[in-house]
Structure 1
Amino acid sequence: MADSSPYQLDLHRIIRETFVEDGEVWETIDSTNNRAKTLVGRPDLPLPFLVAAEHQTAGRGRGNRRWWTGQGSLAFSVILNLPITPGRPIRVPESNTAIDNATDASATGGQLAPESAAGFLGLVGALSVCRAIWPLVPPTVPVGLHWPNDVYVAGRKIAGILVEVPANQRVILGIGVNANNVAREAPEELRPFVTSLRDICGTFLDRTDVLISILRHMESQLEVLARNPAELASEADRLCLQKGHHLILETEKRRYQGVCRGIDITGGILLETSEGLRKFVSGTILRSDSLPE
């Protein structure tokens, strides 16, 4: 694990100042989500539990995508219990929009199953990052979401979220934020498409401060999710940068094209297709006419 240093994450302070009950910080690890998977089955694990790393050798995004973890970036995973509030199951509001790829009946209303929670928790992660970085960037710089799992600043990707539901009514919420790393040090193919807080702000940031802010917002967003998922989805819709743009979306069954109409109250994305308005609760955005992939 990482040694204590003013340049490294301060785990004791993180535990003291956030809702995290315990955690660990690694100097180098393959993936914080991979490590979290080895811990998630422990019945005695204090939750929420944080796994953070100074450097990842095999950071993961959705599907087979890799996540670049440059020197000075922020990579962490939080193991959470479902339902978020013990004894109070999360319920998804009803939606009249046709669903093309719902995984279970909860996508149209009713109790939120662990598999369906992934979409909402991805929004929790993205909104938490947005709220944490708003005070750090100039007010004229646009900050928003790229459904289903990215945060963009000034038109470039600054953070990604990976939610996994391994077992035991527990979920892993993984987040990678480009903090003190810089785009010019990214792999050549990524440089035109990524940015970092250091690139935007022009200065080094205390990553412990950034992580504490994200975790505090995460706690409040989880409370919103437990109380009123539609409220969470509404804020995500307000911050959706794809709205009004043409998207190509791939599901397990087929590809769809259409103009994005935002994020609906169940957390799915709305596309105006040649077949009418359709909602997708999961899927991969292959191309957008406004944002790089």
Structure 2
Amino acid sequence: MLDPDKITAGLKTKRIGRNILVYDSTSSTNDAAAEYAKNKANDGLAIFAEQQTAGRGRAGNKWYSSRSDSILCSIVLTENKLPAELLSLLCAVAIAEAIGKPARIKWPNDIMLNGRKVAGILLESKSNGICIVGIGINCRQKTDSFPDELQSIATSIDIESRSVTDRISLARRLLASIDHWLEVAAQTSEKVIDQWRNLSIQLGHRVRLIYDGREFAGNCIGIDPEKGLILQLDTGGIRMFDAAHSSIVKQG
């Protein structure tokens, strides 16, 4: 069971996780966070849950998680001044670093271990600078914990490390990492971009994606902190694609 006192023990953050709530069960940590976000004093609040009954990912996809097998977390930002693209990038970097090697980033919102998805990000922007950062990290699942259709594409830290994940330690590293990269991004986006480039599995490779219902393909040559993934298109020219309107078809 996640314990907020144990998570905060030794946590030296300036903004994120100074206050922590842990639910035994909730429909969605993002929904719970949205209620707390109505009070600006809750900036940096981290909400965890042992179980979600209606967890979701991007585009309304269901997020599968069995009780106490994951890190299910939402962070309240009531005064976000960063572009959505940059916020998404720094969260991806922070999560990958919290998990540790060999975690890599697959734009727009996935963290991968050995070619399979281990974590995801769901950003939900509200009005007046309010943003909810939803994070799901697979920790203790076994292969048969996932639905049949996900067993070949999803994984957990335990599966890949062949050990038992200390979720409290991981939660603490996660909050510290997000706090650090938020502070960095407030000063400069360049360091975030540099680390994203170091951790990206797509940079320098051919990418196919759907953008507003149309398919595009090309070589990934970079990322823009405000406009998204940069592709050298197969059809010629360079184009940028923002995360909110894009979904990856496959790498190839």
Q: TM-score normalised to the size of structure 1?
A: 0.78
Checking the alignment, whether the CA contact within 8 Å between 2:105 and 2:111 is kept in structure 1 is yes
Of 237-246 and 30-39, more deviation after overlay is shown by 237-246
* Counterpart mapping for 1:212-223 below 5 A: 212-223=172-183
What is the match of residue 247 of structure 2? Answer: 285
C-alpha deviation, 1:28, in angstroms: 1.2
CA distance in 2, matches of 1:240, 1:262: 10
What is the match of residue 123 of structure 1? Answer: 89
* Counterpart mapping for 1:75-154 below 5 A: 75-83=72-80, 112=82, 117-134=83-100, 142-154=102-114
Match of 1:194 among 144, 154, 172: 154
User: In structure 1, the residue corresponding to 2:217 is in which secondary structure?
Assistant: strand
Match of 1:233 among 175, 193, 199: 193
User: In structure 2, the residue corresponding to 1:180 is in which secondary structure?
Assistant: coil
CA RMSD of aligned residues (A): 1.9
C-alpha deviation, 1:18, in angstroms: 4.6
What is the match of residue 215 of structure 2? Answer: 255
- What's the CA shift string for 1:100-131, capped at 9, x where partnerless? xxxxxxxxxxxx5xxxx222122222111111
Checking the alignment, whether the CA contact within 8 Å between 1:259 and 1:271 is kept in structure 2 is yes
Structure 2, unmatched stretches of 5+, are: none
Checking the alignment, whether the CA contact within 8 Å between 2:85 and 2:226 is kept in structure 1 is no
CA distance in 1, matches of 2:212, 2:12: 38
What percentage of aligned pairs have identical amino acids? Answer: 31
CA distance in 1, matches of 2:236, 2:156: 39
What is the match of residue 6 of structure 2? Answer: 13
Q: Does 1:39 align with 2:71?
A: no
Q: Give aligned pairs, total.
A: 245
Q: TM-score normalised to the size of structure 2?
A: 0.89
Moved over 6 A (4+): none
Checking the alignment, whether the CA contact within 8 Å between 1:81 and 1:170 is kept in structure 2 is yes
- Letter aligned with residue 119 of structure 1: E
CA distance in 2, matches of 1:228, 1:195: 33
- Letter aligned with residue 9 of structure 1: L
CA distance in 1, matches of 2:232, 2:50: 42
C-alpha deviation, 1:183, in angstroms: 2.8
**Greater fraction helix:** 2
- Bigger Rg over Cα: 1
Relative to structure 1, is the Cα distance of residues 75 and 206 closer, same or farther in structure 2, using a 3 angstrom cutoff? same
Relative to structure 1, is the Cα distance of residues 18 and 10 closer, same or farther in structure 2, using a 3 angstrom cutoff? farther
